[in-house]
Amino acid sequence: MAEFLEFDWKSNMISRDILREQIYTENEPTDEQTSIKSLRSSIQTSGDIELIDNMQQDDSTLLKFLYAKKFNVNESFELIRNYYWYRKKNPEIFRNFTIQSDDIRQSLENGIPGVLESRDRKGRCVLLINGNNWDCSQYTLMGIYRAILYTLEFLIQNIHNQANGFVILVDWTEFSFRQTTHLKPAILKTMIEGLQDCFPAKFKGVHFIGQPWYVEAALALIKPFLKEKTKERIYVHGNNLSTLHNYVPTDILPAEMGGEQASFNPEVWLKQLMESDKV
């Protein structure tokens, strides 16, 4: 029950000291600066000249990777190396990687993804993906992936998201067979690699609701690329929203997911991102 202690439900924030205490209880006790110095040393002595010369190594950047791996320095270093080389290997994903890019903005306008205003009971940030809103004629699955990454890069700047992680809700309700033909296996594989192995975030749960049989058939193709830990965190609810509510409380969910909040409005999250882009 320690994860629930001293949580301010009005602000959805926990003090930084408590966040660190939660991490350190699961690993050998250390302090933040020692971990940062150890990780920076691992990079500098790695022999990977390109990584050394091009990867940011400021404290705030290194902390993202440390939190993602619960301050295990060796695993954090491997994640940093994966993060850097994934971006090097896939330049098309990160070209024109701004809110002004047509595919990123259009995907966000359709709520793919959106972010709920409130966190769940464990302080996790909740992302919502409304699959039926995907306008396949305007942007591709790659555009959706870029919008997801853009959103995550913004959210991961927040230390509470680094420490507590994310929950993702994917609503497939009324997702058409035609849309399913745009779920390209090669891009899905690239997405899995990037999010599972190369991004500094803890994904605590991925919940599918309202998925038709043909979506399940399409997604079955990606199962071989999922690690066992990832598979264990995927929950398939179909049309049974009550099982979703066992994991995500109704008081933070929009009405279309059986929640107590108003219907989700993607413009709210899009506006927040656009305003931050101006700073």
- In a 3-state reduction of DSSP, which class is residue 166? strand
Q: How confident is the model at residue 3 (pLDDT cuts 50, 70, 90)?
A: very low
DSSP character string of 147-160: HHHHHHHHHTTSHH
Of 34, 69, 89, which one is at a domain's C-terminal end?
Answer: 89
Q: Residue 140: pLDDT above 90?
A: yes
What's the token pair of residue 78?
């491997």
For residue 16, the tally of other CB atoms under 10 A from its CB is 12
Q: What is the pLDDT of residue 16?
A: 53
Q: What is the pLDDT of residues 213-246, one digit of tens each?
A: 988 888 888 889 999 999 999 999 999 999 999 9
Cα 42 from Cα 74, distance rounded (Å): 8
Q: Which one has a higher pLDDT value, 152 or 12?
A: 152
| 1 falls within a domain | no
Q: Which one has a higher pLDDT value, 29 or 130?
A: 130
Q: What is the pTM of this model?
A: 0.88
What's the token pair of residue 271?
């506006």
- We report the CATH number of the domain holding residue 139 as 3.40.525.10
When pLDDT is averaged across residues 267-271 and rounded to a whole number, the result is 92
Please give the tally of structural domains in the chain: 2
- Residue 2 is classified by DSSP as G
When pLDDT is averaged across residues 16-37 and rounded to a whole number, the result is 64
Q: What is the residue range of 73's domain?
A: 7-89
When pLDDT is averaged across residues 22-36 and rounded to a whole number, the result is 66
When pLDDT is averaged across residues 270-274 and rounded to a whole number, the result is 91
Please tell me whether residues 134 and 227 are part of one structural domain: yes
Q: Residue 29: pLDDT above 50?
A: no
Please tell me whether residues 83 and 100 are part of one structural domain: no
Cα 38 from Cα 122, distance rounded (Å): 29
Q: Which of 17-26, 61-70, 87-96 has the lowest mean pLDDT?
A: 17-26
Please tell me whether residues 136 and 256 are part of one structural domain: yes
DSSP character string of 234-254: EEEEET-HHHHHTTS-GGGSB
| 142 falls within a domain | yes
| 175 falls within a domain | yes
When pLDDT is averaged across residues 73-91 and rounded to a whole number, the result is 97
Please tell me whether residues 146 and 256 are part of one structural domain: yes
Q: How confident is the model at residue 17 (pLDDT cuts 50, 70, 90)?
A: low
Q: Which residues pair with 171 in a beta bridge?
A: 130, 209
| 2 falls within a domain | no
Q: Which of 25-29, 40-44, 85-89 has the lowest mean pLDDT?
A: 25-29
Mean model confidence pLDDT for the chain: 88
Q: Residue 174: pLDDT above 50?
A: yes
Pairing of strands 114-115, 234-238: unpaired
Q: In angstroms, what CA-CA distances link 206 with 9, 40, 41, 51, 126?
A: 23, 32, 34, 31, 10
Q: What is the pLDDT of residue 258?
A: 93
Q: Which of 33, 22, 38 is nearest to 72 (CA)?
A: 38
